[in-house]
Amino acid sequence: MEARIFVRERRKVEKGEKKPRFRICGVSGVDLKVYAHHMRKQELDEMAGHLGAKVVVLHSGKEEKKKE
């Protein structure tokens, strides 16, 4: 089974802000300890590359509510 890192976008960060946008929700298939609360996409991709893992972005569903 391929290792995966599950992340979601933070709610209080707007586009263009210079703050990390992602929070790690869970990890599957790899032993990984994370000490940071928030991370940038580039940092997640680099970690996943070294671990041979895939980054999975979880969606909150708020886009679906806006469409209705």
Going from N- to C-terminal start, the domains of the chain cover 4-54
Q: What is the pLDDT of residues 35-45, one digit of tens each?
A: 988 898 999 99
- In angstroms, the CA 45 to CA 53 distance is 9
pTM to 2 decimal places: 0.74
pLDDT, averaged across the chain: 83
Q: What is the pLDDT of residues 10-58, one digit of tens each?
A: 877 677 777 778 888 888 998 888 898 889 899 999 999 999 999 999 9
- In angstroms, the CA 19 to CA 43 distance is 13
Token digits for 29?
């298939």
